[in-house]
């Protein structure tokens, strides 16, 4: 019979911990996704998931991906083409809540679009918004955000060093998530030390057949 201590050592040697993508400031860049830690130091950002749209010495801009405002896009009457659209407008962040930013997924940029990552673009001008809306087929490729999240580069780097944010790659996988209300929970769970086991016998133990 194997002793309990020997069995535990055998499992420990084959255990992989699945953690968040990164907590290094060097990994900050456009297209990365910030996931707020469980104990948010600022309640404004509690349980937030933010796509970084712009990141350089001039400043950092992102939009919250998981805060649908329960107001349909059809209410944004200033933009032609929104009539009949029942998909929600999103709260993009606490800064300049009267401004509009849209994310679009497209094989190529429309007018005034800024490339974010992969096939995802951001637009903020009226011409860009109208062009993106015209090309849109629905919420799977076009979303509108009121306001945004903004930092200086040094401010965001300091928050990351303090452990406030986890950084995930591949923002294109999350920008148009079908269940934004649960996005933070799903991503933060990936930072909590979930375990994946590869069963290997400890050295000297017989293999089961």
Reported pTM: 0.83
* Angstrom distance (rounded) from CA 209 to CA 206: 9
Residues 6+ apart with CB under 8 A from 4: none
> Domains of the chain (ranges plus CATH)?
16-192 (3.40.1740.10)
Average confidence (pLDDT) per 10 residues, the chain, 209 residues = 34 40 96 97 96 97 96 92 93 97 96 97 96 94 98 98 97 98 97 50 38
> What are the pLDDT digits (tens) for 47-67?
999 999 999 999 999 999 999
Give the pLDDT score at 185: 98
Summary mean pLDDT of the chain:
86
Give the pLDDT score at 11: 30
């Amino acid at each position: 019979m194997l002793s309990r201590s020997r069995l535990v050592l055998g499992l420990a040697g084959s255990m992989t911990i699945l953690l968040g993508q990164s907590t290094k400031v060097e990994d900050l860049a456009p297209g990365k996704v910030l996931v707020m830690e469980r104990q948010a130091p600022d309640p404004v950002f509690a349980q937030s998931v933010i796509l970084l749209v712009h990141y350089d010495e001039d400043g950092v801009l992102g939009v919250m991906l998981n805060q649908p405002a329960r107001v349909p896009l059809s209410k944004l009457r200033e933009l032609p083409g929104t009539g009949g659209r029942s998909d929600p407008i999103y709260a993009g962040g606490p800064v300049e809540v009267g401004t509009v930013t849209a994310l679009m997924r497209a094989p190529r940029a429309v007018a005034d679009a800024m490339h974010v990552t992969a096939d995802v673009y951001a637009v903020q001008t009226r011409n860009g918004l109208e062009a993106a809306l015209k090309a849109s087929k629905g919420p799977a490729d076009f979303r509108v955000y009121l306001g945004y999240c903004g930092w200086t580069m040094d401010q965001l780097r300091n928050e990351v060093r303090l452990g406030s944010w986890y950084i995930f790659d591949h923002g294109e996988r999350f920008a148009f998530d079908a269940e934004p209300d649960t996005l933070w929970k799903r991503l933060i769970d990936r930072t909590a030390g979930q375990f994946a086991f590869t069963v290997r016998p400890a050295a000297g133990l017989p293999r089961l057949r």
